[in-house]
Amino acid sequence: MAVFFVLIAVLLLLLLVMIFRAALGKKAPAPGVFDARSLDKYAGAEEKLAKLVRIPTVSRFDPIEEDGAMFKLLEAEVSALFPMVSERLLRLDAGDRAMLFEWPGKNAKLKPVILMAHYDVVPPGDDSLWQRHPFSGDIADGYIHGRGTQDIKIMFSGALEAANRLLAEGFVPERTIYLAFGGDEEVGGNRGAASIAGLLKERGVTASWLLDEGGFVSNGMLSFADRPLALVGVAEKGYVDVAISAKGKGGHASMPPKHTAAGQVAKAVALSETKRFPSKITATLAHFLESLSPYVPFAYRLLFRNLLITGPLVRAAFSASPSTNALVRTTTAATMLSASDKENVLPDKARAVLNVRILPGSNVAATMARIDSLASKAGARADFAHHGFAVEPLPESPVDHEGYRNIEARIKAVFPEAGTVPFMFTAGTDTKHYVDITEGMYRFTPMVQGPEDLGGVHGANEKISVENYLRTVMFYEELIKNA
Ligand SMILES: [Zn+2]
């Protein structure tokens, strides 16, 4: 009996500690209200973004399919629209899918900052799904319409606009700033970002921090948060396409073996879905939850601030929905399947592709090994789908860093309605090419994304509100002034 009471007492004590931890942490200030009048001075800037959107700089894996003239046209348009940038800044030659500008700072002792974006876009897809021409660049109903507005000419144009305005005012930044734009991010960034990073490395540049595309000021993604959240990516998942294959004996399908190659591959794919990678609370996720806790109801705070005890519960809850599941585990998505091309012919080989996003803390080799071991249970095997092409997960960047602090302060000024939280970016960016030459790598797209904007990135009817774009310009102007 005594043991029972001791147990109850311990549990109560534990609960009390948990409640204390939940209650005592940082409290959120009341959300601010943005004064749209502060955007008046940027009025008209949207016309320039629209002009850039009208140039279809679609990148393709096969360069022969690309319209190179469009990329040249875009460069000419940049010179015409942002003359101060093209006349006053030093343009460094990093190849034909890169635009790199150096803006020397006053203090050569300070490490530079790299402001990144890409100016290529993905193809518009099915034209009939678009309410306007995909490259109309129409400005209507308070929006700028067209492919690239959200991904990511808004950052490309926004950074150029801010730099152009500051240069016109005679502003000189404290530290050197690089405007680093790639023209092939959507197809891997080898001709753009990789070439730029290579050139900077050659010139001995080590940057303090960089800003690249990433999380938005997300309005409604986490329904339990009391305000929009500015999601600043401080880590990035790795990437590998894995081919699952099995060999069989071709022949007539009337007397089949117990398992055909198609059956073996199908079983391996099924195993990849039922035996998911183990879930884990990474350092980034722990940071994310801690930073999130001021903005969520008490019950969530109780969970998020006591991960040592509540970890398993949080992992289970996160595993339940695709967007949060991606934060707690390496994910595998079966995307391609092929086997025999005739109904009554046994396949002599079958193949599937898993698109795999690797959680930081793991690596490509361990991920391949686990998938191969699962596949072998089904009589199949796992290999790299593209000759060893893979990206290791990127290291977590510090939150206690001048770059993060600058970004956070600018969010507070330009998106005062939002709370800022560091998080793990689950998609890939050009940032991967800069790992060797940068301390702090932050992925944040300065724009509000509400439910009405969802689906625009890589989808139809991509658009950005004029107010949103002007806020992007303001964000960059403040960011550069305080860099
Ligand atoms: Zn992008």
Residues 242, 370 within the same domain: yes
Could you tell me the distance, in angstroms and rounded to a whole number, from the CA of residue 445 to the centre of ligand 1? 10
Q: Is residue 417 part of a domain?
A: yes
What is the pLDDT of the chain when averaged over all its residues?
93
Rounded CA separation 273/358 (Å): 15
Q: Is residue 110 part of a domain?
A: yes
On whether the CB atoms of residues 49 and 78 are closer than 8 A, the answer is no
Q: What does the pLDDT average to over 198-204? A: 97
Which of 391, 425, 450 is the endpoint of a domain? 391
Contacts of 41 (CB under 8 A, 6+ apart): none
Which structural domain range is residue 180 located in? 36-234+396-481
Query: Could you give the number of structural domains in the chain?
Result: 2
On whether the CB atoms of residues 156 and 52 are closer than 8 A, the answer is yes
Q: Which residue has the tokens 């939150």?
A: 399
Q: What is the CATH number of the domain that holds 252?
A: 3.30.70.360
**Tokens representing residue 192 in the block:** 């753009």
Could you tell me the distance, in angstroms and rounded to a whole number, from the CA of residue 344 to the centre of ligand 1? 44
Could you tell me the distance, in angstroms and rounded to a whole number, from the CA of residue 442 to the centre of ligand 1? 14
**pLDDT over threshold 80, residue 458:** no
Query: What is the per-residue pLDDT for 204?
Result: 96
Residues 75, 42 within the same domain: yes
Q: Is residue 25 part of a domain?
A: no
Could you tell me the distance, in angstroms and rounded to a whole number, from the CA of residue 121 to the centre of ligand 1? 7
Query: What is the per-residue pLDDT for 405?
Result: 96
Which of the residue ranges 50-59, 159-168, 445-454 would you say has the lowest mean pLDDT? 445-454
Q: Is residue 14 part of a domain?
A: no
Which of 161, 185, 453, 478 is flagged as catalytic? Answer: 185
Q: What does the pLDDT average to over 62-72? A: 93
Q: Is residue 442 part of a domain?
A: yes
Residues 227, 342 within the same domain: no
| Per-residue confidence band for 12, with pLDDT thresholds at 50, 70 and 90 | confident
Which of 46, 66, 75, 120 is flagged as catalytic? Answer: 120
Residues 151, 216 within the same domain: yes
Residues 279, 143 within the same domain: no
Could you tell me the distance, in angstroms and rounded to a whole number, from the CA of residue 148 to the centre of ligand 1? 8
Q: What does the pLDDT average to over 92-115? A: 96
CB-side neighbour CA atoms (13 Å) of 398: 11
Q: Is residue 269 part of a domain?
A: yes
Could you tell me the distance, in angstroms and rounded to a whole number, from the CA of residue 195 to the centre of ligand 1? 17
Could you tell me the distance, in angstroms and rounded to a whole number, from the CA of residue 169 to the centre of ligand 1? 30
Question: Which phi and psi angles does 152 have, rounded to 5°?
Answer: -145, 40
Query: What is the per-residue pLDDT for 455?
Result: 67
**Of residues 52 and 457, which shows the higher confidence score?**
52
Residues 185, 254 within the same domain: no
Could you tell me the distance, in angstroms and rounded to a whole number, from the CA of residue 158 to the centre of ligand 1? 14
Could you tell me the distance, in angstroms and rounded to a whole number, from the CA of residue 155 to the centre of ligand 1? 10
Could you tell me the distance, in angstroms and rounded to a whole number, from the CA of residue 82 to the centre of ligand 1? 22
185 is an active site residue: yes
Handedness of CA 289, 291, 295, 301 (dihedral sign): positive
Distance (Å) of CA 185 to CA 181, 364, 418: 9, 21, 28
Residues 266, 180 within the same domain: no
| Per-residue confidence band for 11, with pLDDT thresholds at 50, 70 and 90 | confident
Could you tell me the distance, in angstroms and rounded to a whole number, from the CA of residue 56 to the centre of ligand 1? 15
The β-bridge relationship of strands 98-103 and 90-92 is antiparallel
Q: What does the pLDDT average to over 172-181? A: 97
Q: Is residue 362 part of a domain?
A: yes
Q: What does the pLDDT average to over 221-227? A: 85
Residues 204, 67 within the same domain: yes
Q: What is the CATH number of the domain that holds 425?
A: 3.40.630.10
Residues 384, 412 within the same domain: no
Q: What is the pLDDT of residues 372-410, one digit of tens each?
A: 999 999 999 999 998 878 999 998 899 999 999 999 999
DSSP letter assigned to residue 254 = T
Q: What is the pLDDT of residues 281-340, one digit of tens each?
A: 998 899 899 999 999 999 999 999 999 999 999 999 999 988 889 999 999 999 999 999
Query: What is the per-residue pLDDT for 4?
Result: 86
On whether the CB atoms of residues 410 and 482 are closer than 8 A, the answer is yes
Contacts of 88 (CB under 8 A, 6+ apart): 167
Query: What is the per-residue pLDDT for 137?
Result: 95
**pLDDT over threshold 70, residue 189:** yes
Which of 376, 391, 406 is the endpoint of a domain? 391
| Per-residue confidence band for 460, with pLDDT thresholds at 50, 70 and 90 | confident
Residues 121, 254 within the same domain: no
Residues 221, 92 within the same domain: yes
Query: What is the per-residue pLDDT for 53?
Result: 97
Could you tell me the distance, in angstroms and rounded to a whole number, from the CA of residue 203 to the centre of ligand 1? 27
Query: What is the per-residue pLDDT for 395?
Result: 86
Query: What is the per-residue pLDDT for 454?
Result: 67
Query: What is the per-residue pLDDT for 318?
Result: 92
Which of 350, 370, 391 is the endpoint of a domain? 391
Q: Is residue 5 part of a domain?
A: no
Q: What is the pLDDT of residues 123-137, one digit of tens each?
A: 998 889 999 999 999
Query: What is the per-residue pLDDT for 101?
Result: 98
Residues 80, 131 within the same domain: yes
Q: What is the pLDDT of residues 413-457, one digit of tens each?
A: 999 999 999 999 888 889 999 999 999 999 999 999 877 766 677
- 3-class secondary-structure state, position 331: strand
Q: What is the pLDDT of residues 343-353, one digit of tens each?
A: 999 999 999 99
On whether the CB atoms of residues 323 and 350 are closer than 8 A, the answer is no
Could you tell me the distance, in angstroms and rounded to a whole number, from the CA of residue 177 to the centre of ligand 1? 21
Could you tell me the distance, in angstroms and rounded to a whole number, from the CA of residue 154 to the centre of ligand 1? 10
